[in-house]
Structure 1
Amino acid sequence: MTWDTIVVGGGPAGSAAAALLARGGWRTLIIDRAHFPRRKPCAECINPAGVAALRRLGVLDRVMDAGPARLDGWRIVSDAGPSFLGRFSGGVHGIALPRETLDAILLDHARDAGAQVRTGIKVTDLPRDEDGRVRGVIAGGEEIAGRIVIGADGLRSIILRRLGLLARAPRLRKLALTAHVRGLPDMRGCGQMRARGRRCVGIAEVGGGLANVTVVVPGEQAHEVGGHADAYFDAALRECGFADAQRVDDVLATGPFDCPVRGAVADGALLVGDAAGYYDPFTGQGIYRALRGAELAAETVGAALRAGDTSAAALMPYERARRRAFGPGERLQHVVEAFVSRPRLLGWAARRLDRRPQLGDAIIHATGDVRPVRSLLRPSLIAQIIV
């Protein structure tokens, strides 16, 4: 049997793409090396645009039945003490829930849509025809034929590497340590990002009395973690004033995140989600990018399959759409990171934004994909920054 589409990776990007393609009548197979449900190192936040994507996918009711926490905004706390709060408005909000719950729901949704799912199988290579076009995958020691392969296998994507699209070797600019914690103070529906020197701690309730805590360690300090991620994480909690909080599971470490790609399409294959290039997400952009990228990929893949042309040229509409959709957000994220990684600069900005709530809300709306990044260029907002 030749599958129309083989999706490698059963996370949000892979499951969403598979559900859309299977719903369109295409023979779709998902392969993932893990068995579900499984934990995943992630901040576990979904911004308002991601919530809207779940609604379009037809799975939001299932996700809400799982009891996620509601996110109405974010408080950014500088190392020097000043902070500001940015809130979503207009009737929108984000949510947060454990990835093991979210991913299992999305994978079941893809299965219900008609996709077949094989877990516990590792993809190791991409066979090609005489013209160099990908013709399927090598998984579990066998060749599985497919007209188009979608690489949705995350930061360390084997599909990305086999396609030769990695621009350079990843750099360890940051390391992230993630765990669930019980006993934190009520954050009143808002997540927190706390800067501690060049280190950053993100906190968000995920339902069931638990909070996700993610400690982001700059690369030059990664050696301090060594083989003691749990101890390092617990010390970071105490430094934030949460000595009474209780960590309820092991700390998961992930990184490096700096994995630039030369492109996301090739003859017979394309990349979605983190496999298509990663930048440091802010307030839940990672899952939104996975879901929105899946929508864009499914549209292009469906058109290519109908036309009988799976060349890189036929898949280029996805590449162009992906850059239009995510390019502005990536550029804004670099600006945000420049402030977060410089304590004095962040303190200065926090004091100004605390006095100008409208400006803080505008920034959170842009980083949360509620409004386009260009909305920050309104003269009224620029005047508030300058004055």
Structure 2
Amino acid sequence: MSGREEIEILVVGGGPAGATAALLLARSGIEVCLVERRREYQGKVCGEFVSAEGVAVLRRLGILERLLSRGALPITHTRIHSASGDAFDSTLPRSAGEGGIGISRRLLDEALLADAAAAGARIFRGARLSGLSRVASRWVARVHREGSTATLSARVVLGAGGRNSKVAELAGLAGTLPNVGMGLQNHFLRLSPSDERVNLFLLRGGYAGLAPVEQGRWCLGALLFRSAAANPFTDLTASLATTSGARAILASLGDRLDQGATHPIRIGMRRPTTTGLLLAGDAAGSVDPFSGQGIALALMGGEAAAESILGILRGRESPARLGYRDFLRREVGSRLIVTALLRRILERPSLAHACVSAFRRHPILASRLVGLTRNSGGPFLGPLPRLAARFLLK
């Protein structure tokens, strides 16, 4: 990659949103160039759970069965533990006949990128965006890779580089999103078969999720609201050690295989479009990780962004961008309302314990709450605070 080149579509970011959009556009016969900072087979800090809505996208893309054959694991239930040891179980909502899966970002992202390349997209790994400006009717991007710099003039740019999107920054769409903490990830050897369950531990100072993934591993993803330790994994270990439900489960884990961290974790929505440019995935809007919706929203967003870009290329930019904004408001904005309320509860361990206790006593309330994080409980949103208070006071 060097010199100057004119292209139709530049996708910045090869995660689920960017790779999905590139795959769909390439299948439509559109010229696509995707640049991704990570080199081949590098994972990303993530909880590695795909909810049913995202699995339905993978089915539509024709990739789901291949992922299952490579070890992705069905996840049908969740158990949520309070810091004081109480817990409740809930069946996870299904979508279009699909349930959730546990899958590493390494396996998921590589499969999507491989399919995008097979469809005709040009994929450049180890590439970094350093400049982006609007010149006449095109976007001009500077991309560094392997010691050389290329200038790419694109008709449309899709920024899908995550919460700290360089495209959003350079295009003036970054905004100010609140930093809710630090994300951590550990993989452990799994010594027993998967029980198709994801565990969520509500800790003092954060939360952690444990999901089974391929190759006989567990993924332990966590968010710490604050960490004063030089090594944040020390804080995580200490918090888990004081949580009875976590102690029992973590004692059964095998060796730690790897770990990673990312900071800051920003939550909220940005202005997602400007002329000839869209943001997708976490770059456009991200919800709290405890909802388990990050990957699914990225896959759904990649689909919606590809459809919008096709509209732009056909000369219908205004309605295409409007439709995409409506999608984000409906799918991301509604979840943000619910998860913001729940985060306030999680930040107060005594209140979180009271909620877990109430949900254990009233399973219907628990299932409806889980449904709200999946955008499947719309009419229930209005009375949620009043009903929750009623049960908490019993």
**Fold shared per TM-score above 0.5:** yes
2:336 maps to 330
2:27 maps to 23
2:224 maps to 217
Amino acid in the other structure paired with 2:175: A
Q: Give unmatched runs, 5+ long, in structure 2.
A: none
Distance change >3 Å, CA 209–CA 238, structure 1 → 2: farther
- 1:293 alignment partner, one of 292, 301, 317: 301
Question: What is the TM-score normalised by the length of structure 1?
Answer: 0.89
Please tell me whether residue 374 in structure 1 is matched to residue 379 in structure 2.
yes
Q: Which region of structure 1 is more displaced relative to structure 2, 5-14 or 353-362?
A: 353-362
Q: Aligned-pair distance for 1:171?
A: 4.6
Please tell me whether residue 63 in structure 1 is matched to residue 67 in structure 2.
yes
Amino acid in the other structure paired with 1:112: A
**Distance in 1 of aligned mates of 2:190 and 2:327:** 43
2:275 maps to 267
- C-alpha contact 1:126 1:134 (8 A) present in aligned 2: no
2:122 maps to 116
Question: What is the TM-score normalised by the length of structure 2?
Answer: 0.87
Aligned identity (percent) is 30
Distance change >3 Å, CA 124–CA 89, structure 1 → 2: closer
**Distance in 1 of aligned mates of 2:31 and 2:60:** 21
Q: Aligned-pair distance for 1:128?
A: 2.0
- C-alpha contact 1:181 1:246 (8 A) present in aligned 2: yes
- C-alpha contact 1:54 1:60 (8 A) present in aligned 2: yes
Q: Aligned-pair distance for 1:301?
A: 0.8
Q: Aligned-pair distance for 1:43?
A: 0.2
1:68-97 deviations in Å (ceiling 9; x for gaps): 122112111111222111113665421011
**SS in structure 2 of the partner of residue 70 of structure 1:** strand
- 1:151 alignment partner, one of 150, 153, 159: 159
Name the structure where strand makes up a greater proportion of residues. 2
Q: Aligned-pair distance for 1:340?
A: 1.9
Q: How many residues are treated as equivalent by the alignment?
A: 376
1:46 maps to 50
- C-alpha contact 2:184 2:260 (8 A) present in aligned 1: yes
**SS in structure 1 of the partner of residue 265 of structure 2:** coil
Distance change >3 Å, CA 359–CA 271, structure 1 → 2: same
Listed as ranges, the matches of 1:179-190 within 5 Å are 179-183=186-190, 188-190=195-197
- C-alpha contact 2:22 2:34 (8 A) present in aligned 1: yes
- C-alpha contact 1:215 1:236 (8 A) present in aligned 2: no
Q: Aligned-pair distance for 1:110?
A: 1.1
- C-alpha contact 1:332 1:373 (8 A) present in aligned 2: no
Listed as ranges, the matches of 1:316-327 within 5 Å are 316-327=322-333
**Distance in 1 of aligned mates of 2:35 and 2:314:** 23
Q: Aligned-pair distance for 1:260?
A: 4.5
Distance change >3 Å, CA 314–CA 360, structure 1 → 2: closer
**Distance in 1 of aligned mates of 2:160 and 2:129:** 12
2:183 maps to 176
- C-alpha contact 1:79 1:347 (8 A) present in aligned 2: yes
- 1:196 alignment partner, one of 180, 197, 203: 203
**Distance in 2 of aligned mates of 1:69 and 1:15:** 21
**SS in structure 2 of the partner of residue 2 of structure 1:** strand
1:283-326 deviations in Å (ceiling 9; x for gaps): 4200111011111111111011011x65x776233122211222
Distance change >3 Å, CA 385–CA 59, structure 1 → 2: farther
Q: Give unmatched runs, 5+ long, in structure 1.
A: none
Listed as ranges, the matches of 1:120-131 within 5 Å are 120-130=126-136
**Distance in 1 of aligned mates of 2:254 and 2:138:** 48
2:81 maps to 77
Listed as ranges, the matches of 1:335-350 within 5 Å are 335-350=341-356
Distance change >3 Å, CA 59–CA 280, structure 1 → 2: same
Please tell me whether residue 303 in structure 1 is matched to residue 311 in structure 2.
yes
- C-alpha contact 1:233 1:251 (8 A) present in aligned 2: no
**Distance in 1 of aligned mates of 2:200 and 2:193:** 15
**SS in structure 1 of the partner of residue 46 of structure 2:** coil
Q: Aligned-pair distance for 1:149?
A: 0.5
Please tell me whether residue 87 in structure 1 is matched to residue 94 in structure 2.
no
Q: Aligned-pair distance for 1:180?
A: 0.4
1:71-126 deviations in Å (ceiling 9; x for gaps): 11211111122211111366542101111111001111111222111111111111
Please tell me whether residue 252 in structure 1 is matched to residue 256 in structure 2.
no
- C-alpha contact 2:72 2:101 (8 A) present in aligned 1: yes
Amino acid in the other structure paired with 1:156: N
